[in-house]
A and B are shown apart, each in its own frame.
Chain A
């Protein structure tokens, strides 16, 4: 089942009142141990050139955007992305094995079947509150959500 969360855009700056970001296919993977970092994924489409600059959640101390760089020898390194560029009208996808939101310092384990609240802040000043479903620890894609 495809999850589409079209959240309310709270524009902080009246100049960018037209800023509109659509979030789709958002989900998080249940964390295995409370002390282990968890990952969340989503697809963002902005109707104007923008940048995702910060993500917070009440249940994690710290959320960072990570890209995974794999070199020719197959060595994977995580690289922190300071601001995620959102070209106008182009969907940007965070998915397993590539970009992800890393949630650290979880106050509780991410339990399958619950929802994870996320607050996204954009360079345009837009702020968005969304909530994504927590899928099983073995989930690979949003479609794997159990009804």
Chain B
């Protein structure tokens, strides 16, 4: 009789402790997450908010006229921002032509929107190259370039991505792979929405932007 408890008791006690410990931890975890959810509001909404807030118009670059600029130079306007490079044969001219159509379709409201093209290839896209390039698409299109570090910082703040791809068939032996998004940023520099050329006709995007102004 005295042997049985002394043999099984420590094992059983340990097992019981582990089991109860687990139960308590699970209950505590559920309670904490429920309390946090109640305190912060809808969980999914919170996550979405922080994700959106992460994309911000923040940069220090040089425009196509040679002026050093930051996001503060455009804070009185909404910004329509696209990242690309001038050696891009298809996507960039297509998207910039699309942005130009949107600006034209905005008509009198166009002065409330700054269309901005930021190069991800500053090595080749110098100020004079950008000046000649942007003027082809729209007189109000702003071309921004800078040092490699400045461009990298701008893309980080917009949470966009680019990469140099070596390709023998490309001019100078490389292409820049990049995201094809068009960002609509609020005058405050905060994120509003993201679009892609081909996602909707320019008329639809112009109408959507006009509603927000």
Binding site for B on A (CB under 8 A): 29, 32-33, 35-39, 62, 64, 66, 68, 70, 73-78, 80, 96-97, 100, 102-104, 137-140
Contacts and interface: CB of A to CB of B under 8 A. Distances in A.
B161 A138 contact: no
Interface residues of B, number: 33
B74 interface: no
Contacts of A97: 90-91, 94-95, 197-198
B186 to A, nearest CB: 21
B1 to A, nearest CB: 68
Interface in B193-213: 196-198
B25 interface: no
A131 B175 CA distance: 28
Chain A interface main SS type: strand
A32 B132 contact: yes
A35 B179 contact: no
A73 B178 CA distance: 10
Contacts of B101: 138, 140
A96 B171 contact: no
A17 to B, nearest CB: 33
Contact of B132 (A33, A38, A39, A80): A33
A42 B177 CA distance: 24
A76 B171 CA distance: 18
A77 B165 contact: yes
B6 to A, nearest CB: 62
Given A77-B177, A138-B100, A96 B196 contact: no
B91 A76 contact: yes
Interface string B50-90: 00000000000000000000000000000000000011011
B98 A73 contact: no
B96 to A, nearest CB: 8
A73 B179 contact: yes
24 contacts: A33-B86, A33-B133, A35-B171, A36-B86, A37-B89, A38-B89, A64-B169, A74-B179, A74-B180, A74-B196, A75-B180, A76-B177, A76-B180, A78-B89, A78-B177, A97-B95, A100-B90, A103-B89, A137-B136, A138-B97, A138-B136, A139-B97, A140-B94, A140-B97
A39 B132 CA distance: 18
Contacts of B91: 68, 76, 97
Contacts, number: 90
Give the interface centre of B94, B129, B178 by most chain A CB atoms within 10 Å.
B94
A100 B196 contact: no
A138 B136 CA distance: 8
A76 B178 contact: yes
B86 A32 contact: yes
Give the interface centre of A66, A73, A97 by most chain B CB atoms within 10 Å.
A97
Contacts of B98: 140
A80 to B, nearest CB: 6
Give the interface centre of B91, B136, B179 by most chain A CB atoms within 10 Å.
B91
Contacts of B133: 32-33
Nearest to B138: A138
A39 B90 CA distance: 6
A66 B180 CA distance: 16
A140 B159 CA distance: 28
A76 B179 contact: yes
Considering the complex of A and B, which 6 residue pairs feature the smallest CB-CB distances, nearest first?
A: A138-B97, A37-B89, A96-B94, A39-B89, A77-B177, A76-B180
